[in-house]
Every structure is written in C-alpha cells, then in structure tokens.
C-alpha cells in the first residue's frame, strides 16, 4: 500500500469510522422498516415504500441540504439536539455518519426486505403453534433465515458509505481531520495544483477498499448459504 501522509491517514480512518457508524445506526431502522413492508398490509404502503427509497433518486447534494435544514444549529431540531442533548451534527464526523447512513439506508432496506419476503411463512405458523410469540418468532426464525440478506445489505451499504460525497460535503463541509473522508480528500487533491499524485494514491486505496468489501460480501454470503444447505 502506498505510503500515506498523516492527513491522508486521517481521511482513510475517518472514512472507515463514518461507514461503520453509518451502517450500524441505520441497520436496525432498515430491518424494522423492511419487516413492516414485508409482513404488513396498510393504506398508502406504496407511498411509504417510496419515501423510504427517496435517497436513491434524489441528488446527494439535495439530501445534504435537507439534512442541513433539519439538523443545522439554526433549525428547530438541530437547535434542540445541540442545546438540550449536546449533540451537534453540523461540521462534525457524526454528521458525516448521519448523512452516509441516510444515503445508504435504501441499500440495506431493499436487501433485507427481499430476504424477509423470501421466507416461507409456514415456518412461522409452525413456530406459532409451538407457542412462540411474535418477538420470539422474529428472533429465532425470521432473523436466522434472513441473515444472508441482512448481511448483504449491511456490507453493500458499508461499501457505498465509503464513497459518499455529495451529501457529506453539503451537510458537514470538507474539514481535514473532522469531516474529510477519502472522497473529499480526493476532491481536495484534484483541486490543488500538483495534487494529481495524491488523488491517484487515494483513488487506488478507495478502489482497493471497494473490491475487498465486495469479496468479503460474496465470501460471507456463500458461507452462510452453504451452512444453511448443509
């Protein structure tokens, strides 16, 4: 791996941290929404599903602006979180994780919903006849069967979060050591005279991380499917 400067190492570490936190905070919410869409029928279900998938079709810059209008310190929600809870997202790596989680939320939701909808409901009926309640059935039957989809969604979201740019730079700016992830560091290098070598080096690292993530994802899914078939 190319030798990195301290600033570049900060960008690499921050990208990994932002991606991990983004996936972890969004995963339970995505799983809950996926279960709602997979197992429940209710009015305006198509509209609710469309709203959940809005980050897929909106330009990332627009989503970043929306987050800014909601969680900025001058906005009611952002001001409340800052003054009452001491939680500030603007110009912070936590805001970058929030933006990355929002943008990659549909990746988790789609994979988890497909996995849940593929479950044979007869197994849930059998568990119910044996006395398992809804929560027990979800933990002991649904989650194990949906594990490949859950894991695939999380890994795909992680890889996508590593490359998130527009929402992050719009929401939390490009601050070295605080919000400057790999894509933002590459952008800064390209904008700087003589920064082509730095941009190429960081791009190589970004490509390597993406490929490793995909390989790990495929390996884990194959292992899980083999275990389920054995």
User: Which range of residues forms the domain containing residue 30?
Assistant: 15-38+52-229
Counted domains in the chain = 1
Asked if residue 44 is part of any domain, the answer here is: no
The radius of gyration of the chain's CA atoms, rounded to the nearest angstrom, is 20
**Domain of 199: which CATH number?**
1.10.3720.10
Cα angle, residue 216 at apex, residues 176 and 120 outer, rounded to 5°: 120
Q: What is the pLDDT of residues 118-140, one digit of tens each?
A: 887 777 777 778 777 778 888 88
Asked if residue 6 belongs to a domain, the reply is no
- Whether residue 196 is contained in a domain is answered as yes
pLDDT of 69 over the 60 cut: yes
The tens digit of pLDDT for each residue in 169-178 reads 999 999 998 9
Determine, yes or no, domain membership for 171.
Answer: yes
Domain-embedded: residue 8: no
105: closest CA among 52, 177, 178? 52
Question: Does the residue 88 lie in any domain?
Answer: yes
Whole-model pTM: value is 0.89
Mean pLDDT, residues 89-115? 94
Give the CA dihedral 95, 54, 161, 29, nearest 10 degrees: 70
> CA-CA distance, 69 to 149, in Å (whole number)?
33
Structural domain contains residue 19: yes
Tokens of 41: 């029928």
Cβ(111)–Cβ(150) below 8 Å? yes
Name 141's Cβ contacts closer than 8 Å, sequence gap at least 6: 119, 123, 124, 127, 132
Closest CA to 170 of 14, 23, 58: 58
The answer to whether position 190 is within a domain reads yes
Largest CA distance in the chain: 70
């Amino acid at each position: 791996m190319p030798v990195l400067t301290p600033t570049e190492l900060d960008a690499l570490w921050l990208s990994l941290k932002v991606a991990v936190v983004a996936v972890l905070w969004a995963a339970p919410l995505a799983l809950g929404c996926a279960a709602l869409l997979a197992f429940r029928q209710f009015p305006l279900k198509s509209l609710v599903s469309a709203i959940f998938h809005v980050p897929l079709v909106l330009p990332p810059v627009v989503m970043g602006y929306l987050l800014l209008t909601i969680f900025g310190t001058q906005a009611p929600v952002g001001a409340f979180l800052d003054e009452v809870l001491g939680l500030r997202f603007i110009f912070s790596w936590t805001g970058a994780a929030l933006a990355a989680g929002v943008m990659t939320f549909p990746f988790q939701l789609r994979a988890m919903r497909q996995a849940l909808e593929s479950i044979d409901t007869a197994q849930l009926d059998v568990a119910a006849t044996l006395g398992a309640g809804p929560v027990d059935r979800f933990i002991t039957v649904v989650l194990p069967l949906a594990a490949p989809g859950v894991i695939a969604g999380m890994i795909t979201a992680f890889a996508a979060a590593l490359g998130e740019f527009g929402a992050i730079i719009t929401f939390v700016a490009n601050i070295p050591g605080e919000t400057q992830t790999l894509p933002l560091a590459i952008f800064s290098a390209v904008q700087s005279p003589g920064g082509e070598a730095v941009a190429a080096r960081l791009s190589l690292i970004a490509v390597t991380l993406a490929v490793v993530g995909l390989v790990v994802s495929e390996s884990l899914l194959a292992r899980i499917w083999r275990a389920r078939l054995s």
